[in-house]
Amino acid sequence: MKRNDSGSLLFDDFPVFTPNLSPREMFEQGCFGGTYWRPIHSRVLGMMLADQHLEFEELFHEIDEELLVGTEFNREINRYRAKSGTTLELWESKGWIHALDPYGWVQWYCRFFSGRRCEDDQRQVKRWCNFAGPKGRFRRQLISRIIQNDSTFNDESVSPVIRQGLHQWGYVLTESDFEKDRLERWKRFHQVE
């Protein structure tokens, strides 16, 4: 997979989609308390689902099952040791889960990363941009909190819950992204072009 100089993944057909963690990196480093691929009852499909991670054997080769299919949420598995996010049931009740990817955004990302393209790509990329992209709500919140705390981009004590959320959307704040955003804020404040 191609990356740019700052480590973001490059997708020629979706240049605005620039996560910097692959699905493998997300799960190796720890996300969703190890429970993302647990057996579920999909309301969208009206059936039980299990072993869905096996579709991605190449992506998850030799990753400990505890990081993928745990039935009990384990905060210690998460990269930032924080719980972030809501339940699949809430997402289903809001109509945000589509039948194509009944586990949600990360299932879509694994398939997209593996080469699948589908009618839901635009929506999912837009969701990522709104959450973790350069103007994404949570990326901007994290940067604001770092600035407010007069801290550094990699001070993990600042907003571990937001950091975990971003991680689960395939993004970790980099020094170059932090500095770029901070400079833009300074220019706006000082009305400099």
pLDDT in tens, 110-167: 999 999 999 999 999 999 999 999 999 999 999 999 999 999 999 999 999 999 999 9
Percent of the residues in the chain that have a pLDDT greater than 90, as a whole number: 93
Residue 79's CB is within 10 A of a number of other CB atoms, namely: 20
Q: Is residue 190 very low, low, confident or very high in pLDDT (cuts 50, 70, 90)?
A: confident
Parse the chain into domains and list their residue ranges: 23-189
> How far from 123 is each of 47, 100, 111, 157, 165, CA to CA, in Å?
25, 13, 15, 32, 19
pTM, rounded to two decimals: 0.95
What are 16-62's pLDDT values in tens digits? 999 999 999 999 999 999 999 999 999 999 999 999 999 999 999 99
* C-alpha–C-alpha distance, residues 61 and 192, integer Å: 50
Instruction: Look over the chain and give the mean of its residue pLDDT values, rounded to a whole number.
Output: 96
